[in-house]
Amino acid sequence: MQYDPRAFRPQGLKHRTMFEIVKSGGIVMLPIILCSILAVAITLERLWTLRGQRVAPQELTDKVWQWVENRSLSDKQITALQLHSPLGRVLAAGLSNRYRDRLVMMEAIEDAGRHVMHDLERYLNTLATIASISPLLGLLGTVIGMIRTFRAITVAGVGNPSAMAGGIAEALITTAAGLIVAIPALVAYRYLRGKVDVLVIQMEKESLRLVQAIDRTTGTRPQSAVEFAEAVAAEEAAA
């Protein structure tokens, strides 16, 4: 009968070893672990929220162009468009002012775009903060660990390595943990930041194309409030 050392290994040894490593890092490991959980949650939430099909669906733009070209727009359609997606909010802002001066319509689109961009950037500053403070928390743990080490040397002297092991372990573990959290958080922040920029540029392009389509279909744009009211009344009468 052959001896198999794995047969005598406790089943929970791996989990207990990991727990002991975390425990050896000291009190600073608690905020580092909280930062890691928060970073994972923010990354997953933003990856789901910033999907291109959700933010700027292609079929939505085609549908809006058909409405503009056929001049079949109504207030109900504009309201539904505003609730559809972030791109829909921007396009709805322009369509709501399609009978006003071009400058007024562009300002409405830009204002809606700023609100949409703010929503797309939600939690990204928190993720960047986590990427910044995690190494600092690791450095704090390193300092605390070295303080414990020198205190042990003062009490037990340099001839007792086991007395210094706890402080050294705390210093190294917290440094590694801080970097393990910070590096993926920074990569996730850069990726999500770039994704937001791409989506914003895409929405700007679609908004400009919408303005050009409205200019082609309306020809001359009314300038005065009276002309604007007459245009709206004419559309409601036709509907």
Give domain limits for the chain: 28-47+58-238
Please report, in angstroms and rounded to a whole number, the separation of the first and last CA atoms in the chain: 91
> H-helix or E-strand containing 151?
helix 124-156
The CA-based diameter of the chain, rounded to the nearest angstrom, is 101
Q: pTM for the full model? A: 0.74
Structure confidence at residue 150 as a pLDDT band (50, 70, 90): confident
* Beta-strand runs (E) in the chain: none
Between the ranges 30-44, 66-80, 94-108, where is the mean pLDDT highest?
Answer: 30-44
What is the pLDDT averaged over residues 16-40?
Answer: 84
Q: At what angle do helices 161-218 and 124-156 cross, to 10 degrees?
A: 170
**pLDDT tens column, 197-239:** 999 998 888 888 888 777 776 654 444 444 445 554 555 555 5
pLDDT for res 101? 79
Question: Measured between alpha carbons, how far is 190 from 55 in angstroms, rounded to an integer?
Answer: 19
Residues whose CB falls within 8 Å of the CB of residue 63, separated by 6 or more in sequence, listed in order: none
